[in-house]
Amino acid sequence: MVPLLQAMDHPCRADQARVGIINQSEINAANGGNCEFYVTMGLLRRANDDQLRGVLAHEVAHQDLGHVAKAQVLGASLNILSAGLQQLFPGAGAIAPIAGELVARGYGRSEEFTADKHGVEILSRAGYNKGTMLDALSWIRRSSGDGGGGFLSTHPALDDRIATIQRMR
């Protein structure tokens, strides 16, 4: 993890980074902002070192790009917009949360592609190639199914993410 943190544009100090382990069997990881990362027991039990490195590079990229902070600002803005719509159009209360969710999910998909690309850059700076990220995403697809890309999904389809990375130089 330390080489990935050191390869960031805005590095987290090793003593600042925190990794929490979530007792779930699913393969998953997350960035909580403020150099906090979370991995599931399912990921730790089933991933090899390179697969774990690829997943962590993606989460480190979210941190480096400020995605959690941007998502928090977007969420607050959507809440304010929803409240304003409710004041202007009393019947909008049922539609505003759905519209806000669609906006947030679209935002999430673009951030996932960006984190994949930046994760590859971080891996490269740390001495690994894009194959590390490709292997991690391919392994997740084999282990968990496609996971993503549906109408209400925050993540693009894994096949789309893999294809995007394969096109990178």
pLDDT of the residue at 101:
45
Look at residue 36 in the predicted model and tell me its pLDDT.
Answer: 92
Question: pLDDT-based confidence at 116, cuts 50/70/90?
Answer: very high
DSSP labels, 29-88: EEEEETTEEEEEHHHHHH--HHHHHHHHHHHHHHHHTTHHHHHHHHHHHHHHHHHHHHHH
Give me the pLDDT at residue 144, please.
Answer: 79
Rounded average pLDDT over 25-33: 89
Q: Look at residue 69 in the predicted model and tell me its pLDDT.
A: 61
Confidence (pLDDT) at 85? 52
- Report the run of H or E that residue 22 belongs to, with start and end: strand 18-22
The pLDDT score that the predictor gives to residue 87 is: 60
Give pLDDT tens digits for 36-67.
999 999 999 999 999 999 999 999 999 999 98
What are the tens digits of pLDDT across the range 122-145? 999 999 999 999 999 999 999 976
Give percent above pLDDT 70 in the chain: 70
What pLDDT sits at residue 134?
96
Closest C-alpha to 55, from 111, 122, 9: 122
3 state SS of 168: coil
User: Nearest 5 degrees, angle CA 120-CA 7-CA 70?
Assistant: 75
In sequence order, the 6+-apart residues with CB closer than 8 A to the CB of 122 are: 4, 7, 8, 57, 60, 61, 64
Does residue 98 have a pLDDT over 80?
no
151 versus 112: the higher-pLDDT residue is 112
* Helix (H/G/I), strand (E/B), else coil: 1: coil
